[in-house]
Structure 1
Amino acid sequence: MKLATAPVRPLIAVGTGLAAVGAAALLGLPGVVKAPETRLAAAASAPAEGAYWHTRVLTRRTGPRQMGSGANRYWVVEQTLNEEWTAPDGKAWFGYRTAGAYPKSAADRKAWRRDGSPARWTRTADGQVVKLSTEPDKGRVGPVRGKDDTFFLAGQRLTYDEVQRLPADPNALKSWLSKAARVSRVSQNSMDEFIAGALLEMLYRLPTPKNVRAAAYQSLLTIPAVRSRGESKDSMGRAGAALSIDHPKVVQRNGLTIKDKTNLIVDTGTMLLLSESQTTAIRGKLSLDETSTHTVLAAGWTNTAPAVPALP
């Protein structure tokens, strides 16, 4: 089962998208280098606190198109679960499951009932082909094929020990990432987005020590596009520091204007990402908005073996 090619939606869409970075690691894409100037000094590393570094993420996505027909049009929320288990030796497993779609609001539920309360959708209201169901699927889990013994970060392949030795000083960490960006030939205009994406990777997907995560959080706050928004709660009621990322780039594609807006919530006690929400505004002949909320249900060490993702 080649689960690395599962249709997983992007997670944490900053720059090229953190899920895209994670997928590159899972797929073992070529062209990633471990450049001499980005190598980390040898030192003793703390042992792993469990058999696997485990992440569990619930994604809820709305839009960009409504379901139904005629006057009975409504928004549907699509739910998916993604889990990763990575051992210190680099071996990894991936789990994926759709968790069932549902009408977004009370008004949407009324329109859905007028539409006959369908349990499945094969087309949107404007005729686009989709495949959605109110029922969860059985899910799947399996090893990631072709992955080597390294962890992917900022265009570099790092061993587990090197991940443990990432700089725990915010300035040193940002300097290391800047070197990695130059090695990866990132343009100056994209440098901040590249670094922000790598810093967010450290806040949940990689088995970085807490002091390195704290440095990543502090480094993130120094990026001009990042704003502190006080405290907020995620969809699970967990409190954390709220941040927003202003994406100055407006992408022009096929006559459309595309602009993203991102909000984050970080637990500053554990220094782990709690959630990310992104709205993509598409303007052209049609005006469409797509909203995704990614809730990190778990990020940390576990001894529990990989299994099909349980429903939330």
Structure 2
Amino acid sequence: MNDLEELAALLAKPEPSAETAARSRSRLHGRTRGRARRRIGWLAPATALAAAAAVTAVVVSTGATTTGGTVAVTATTAGASASAREILLVAAASAARTPQGSGTYWHVKREWLNMDVPPIESWTGRDGKRWSKNQPEDPPGAVVRDQASWFMLKGAKASFEDLESLPTDPEALKAWIAERKGRESDMSLSEQRDEPVYPLIALITELPVPSKVRSAAFQALAALPGVQNAGAVEGGQELRISDPDGHREIKLVIDPETSRVTRTNLLLGDDGSLGMSKGLISVTTDWTDQVPQ
């Protein structure tokens, strides 16, 4: 068994309890259309993003750990807790070997747990059209054509082609993010300072980027100071990132075996919106040929 296999075994997820499984079947904690650009709001049931007086800023320093183009992972001793860095590097290795998905639409589904309300969904087609469902101002259950037909990254529009051409080396990806200039009104304070934490999180959560780009983003996040592993939870390993501006601590639940962020309290929408929830948000993304319904 190599180092990566040892670490993957260490991170194996426990079977959820009956209570946890029942709770996970509860549905949405709230709704938000999320068109308030880069303003942070607290997400609550049946409400849109509430504009807050300040924008979350996270001070970061990133880097990559690679050896000959392969993610370097140091296994922990048996029975010890894996560090956040190791979890992110396992996720990076998993992403690098994941086949690239394909389909007509990029589908995003968001669910707030413990509330019996429908999930918010969006479908973005390669033809530049987007549909959404269960946004607050839309008829319940109706699929509605969305006027915004592009993605947002660091305050600037991004097409499928832009995202697919992103650097696959973590250092080059960080440099690309630093050089990218969007509108200040559409960026968080940390993005205005060219700090990459929000763009990197967006790349591993909701944006349709190639597997190797996601791998590079995980590697860059692995070098963040102050990222801690809170332990195994339903859906993977919970990582926490402190917010020096005093807002709610960022939480990411990552399944390192599938390289997916399964839940988070920080919602970085593919349209550039930003919001935080008091509870965890379930996020599912996939390519599909099924028409929006």
Q: TM class, shorter-chain normalised?
A: 0.5 to 0.7
Q: 1:180 to 1:51 in 2, by over 3 A?
A: same
Deviation at 1:299, TM superposition (A): 0.7
After the TM superposition, which residues 76-225 of structure 1 pair with which residues of structure 2 at under 5 Å, given as runs? 79-96=117-134, 138-145=140-147, 147-148=148-149, 150-180=150-180, 184=184, 195-225=196-226
Deviation at 1:94, TM superposition (A): 0.6
- In 1, the alpha carbon distance for the partners of 2:119 and 2:151 equals 22
Alignment match, 1:107: none
Q: Does residue 55 of structure 1 match 2:108?
A: yes
- In 2, the alpha carbon distance for the partners of 1:188 and 1:182 equals 12
- Secondary structure, counterpart of 2:196 in structure 1: helix
What TM-score, normalized to structure 2? Answer: 0.55
Cα displacement string for residues 228-275 of structure 1 (whole angstroms, at most 9, x for unaligned residues): 3065233xxx32x4311101113xxxxxxxx31221112233322110
Alignment match, 1:246: 242
The structure with the largest alpha-carbon Rg is 1
Deviation at 1:200, TM superposition (A): 1.7
What TM-score, normalized to structure 1? Answer: 0.52
- In 2, the alpha carbon distance for the partners of 1:8 and 1:96 equals 9
Of structures 1 and 2, the one with the larger relative CO (CA 8 A, separation 6+) is: 2
Q: 1:16 to 1:168 in 2, by over 3 A?
A: farther
Q: 1:243 to 1:301 in 2, by over 3 A?
A: same
- In 2, the alpha carbon distance for the partners of 1:85 and 1:292 equals 24
Contact persistence 1:210–1:270 (CA under 8 A): no
Paired AA for residue 265 in structure 1: V
Alignment match, 1:274: 262
Contact persistence 1:90–1:151 (CA under 8 A): no
Contact persistence 1:95–1:139 (CA under 8 A): yes
Contact persistence 2:170–2:219 (CA under 8 A): yes
Paired AA for residue 215 in structure 1: A
- The count of corresponding residues between Structure 1 and Structure 2 is 196
- Secondary structure, counterpart of 1:8 in structure 2: coil
- In 2, the alpha carbon distance for the partners of 1:210 and 1:19 equals 31
Paired AA for residue 32 in structure 2: V
Cα displacement string for residues 2-40 of structure 1 (whole angstroms, at most 9, x for unaligned residues): xxxx961769xxx745999xx9xxxxxxxxxxxxxxxxx
Deviation at 1:181, TM superposition (A): 5.0
Higher strand share: 1
- In 2, the alpha carbon distance for the partners of 1:202 and 1:19 equals 22
Cα displacement string for residues 204-237 of structure 1 (whole angstroms, at most 9, x for unaligned residues): 3211011111111221222334x13065233xxx
| Aligned residues with identical type, % of pairs | 25
Contact persistence 2:251–2:265 (CA under 8 A): yes
Where structure 2 has 5 or more consecutive residues not aligned to the other structure, the ranges are: 1-29, 49-98, 267-276
Cα displacement string for residues 171-229 of structure 1 (whole angstroms, at most 9, x for unaligned residues): 1111111112587596986657962221121113211011111111221222334x130
Paired AA for residue 113 in structure 2: R
- In 2, the alpha carbon distance for the partners of 1:261 and 1:193 equals 21
Where structure 1 has 5 or more consecutive residues not aligned to the other structure, the ranges are: 1-5, 24-45, 62-76, 99-136, 251-258, 279-289, 308-312
Q: 1:304 to 1:271 in 2, by over 3 A?
A: same
Paired AA for residue 294 in structure 1: I
Contact persistence 1:166–1:173 (CA under 8 A): yes
